[in-house]
Amino acid sequence: MSLRGARAAWARGWGAGCRRGASDLPRPPPRAVDVAELLRDATVAEERPRAAEARRPPGQCSVLLFPGQGSQLVGMGRGLLRFPRARELYAAARSVLGYDLLELSLHGPQEALDRTAHCQPAVFVASLAAVEKLQHLQPAVIENCVAAAGFSVGEFAALVFAGAMEFTEGLYAVKIRAEAMQAASEAVPSGMLSVLGKPQSKFSFACLEAQEHCKTLGIADPVCEVANYLFPDCRVISGHLEALQFLQKNSSKYHFRRTKMLPVSGGFHTRLMEPALEPLTQVLKSVGVKKPLVSVHSNIDGKRYMHPKHIQKLLVQQVVSPVKWEQTMHAIYERKKGVEFPKTFEVGPGKQLGAILKSCNLQAWKSYQNVEVLADDDGGA
């Protein structure tokens, strides 16, 4: 991959017009187009990248991880504003969303930022602005990127970074997704419960008993199921609030060491989100999805996306399916003994994905860094 190619993988959409209703989405400044052509150049000769990748020492390669909903914090973005292209992303986002996302991200209030309709676009834009910071400070990280993955809505940011979607189209799809999920969550009192268990914990059995409890309360079709596989013995369970409260009350029975309600508004990644499927399906039909220029791993099964139609199908399915993050980490970092691990960068607010990586693969985590988005660290990433 050439350095010129590597400076702009995700920004492919910055230069092209958006297909949604001609040009009612903004055309960002042409100088922000660098990073997509970097990866596109690398695919011109198929045999050369394969050979170059084989020669590149694994320890010089990089992996980018994009966080999801729940990582948002008031103040995020402040550490990115001295990078002009990061500011341009927020300016473009204002046109797409119809409100000042940067103002909300910087000053809150937290309750407004936590709303699903707001926090998903906020995390998406902050993550791609963090890529701009990383490209400015450590361009070799972008040039040597071999894989990317995003947690839930973070998968959209990973795909934009990899050139599979244009920025404005990806953001508009996230907007529709977030608004549809917000509406679905308001229809039924539901939530998500983080559970740290033990090897003997029986998550599925616990969910079945919680569903039976809900039926005794008159809930006709109760939902309680594993929504996120984080690391060994740690799951997020999603469903009706009554089911989650039952699990908290009976945590010792199921050998749960710790339970904690997450700051989200609904039972995401379950069939409670089915009303959001049709709006997301329709908006993705209007998005020009392309084959990613670096490997992007799907939340559905941890495998790499291979075809644009595959992307569109699984992004919809993801809304009502568990996020298999633990499996994704194994797929990305599995290697023979003695082979170096790539450098990993968490691009976006928080360090949650780094903490999960540490529990999934301690050796891989030793080469982990996060890109600061809250404060200007004025140094490296």
User: Known catalytic residues?
Assistant: 152, 269
What is the rounded CA–CA span in Å between residue 121 and residue 118?
Answer: 6
C-alpha gyration radius of the chain: 20
Tokens 């040039």 locate to 143
For residue 209, give the H/E element and its range.
helix 203-216
200: amino acid identity, one letter: Q
The total of other beta-carbon atoms located within 10 Å of residue 214's CB is 22
Q: Which residues contact 153 (CB under 8 A, 6 or more apart)?
A: 68, 69, 120, 123, 124, 174, 177, 178
Q: Which residue, 99, 164, 137, 165, is CA-closest to 372? A: 137
Query: What region, left, alpha or beta, does residue 116 occupy, with left being phi > 0 and alpha being psi -120 to 50 degrees?
Result: alpha
Helices 116-137 and 167-187 meet at what angle, rounded to 10?
A: 150
Query: Distance between CA atoms of 338 and 356, rounded to whole angstroms?
Result: 22
d(CA 36, CA 4): 9
| Cα–Cα distance for residue pair 27/18, rounded to 1 Å | 8
**CA 326 → CA 155, 213, 271, 286, distances in Å?**
15, 29, 21, 32
Give me the amino acid identity at 131. V
Contact 196, 232 (CB under 8 A): no
H-run or E-run covering 311: helix 308-318
Q: Are 75 and 356 in contact (CB under 8 A)?
A: no
Q: Are 266 and 360 in contact (CB under 8 A)?
A: no
End-to-end Cα distance, the chain: 22
User: Residue 261: which H helix or E strand, with range?
Assistant: strand 258-261
Please report, as a single letter, which amino acid is at residue 305.
Answer: Y
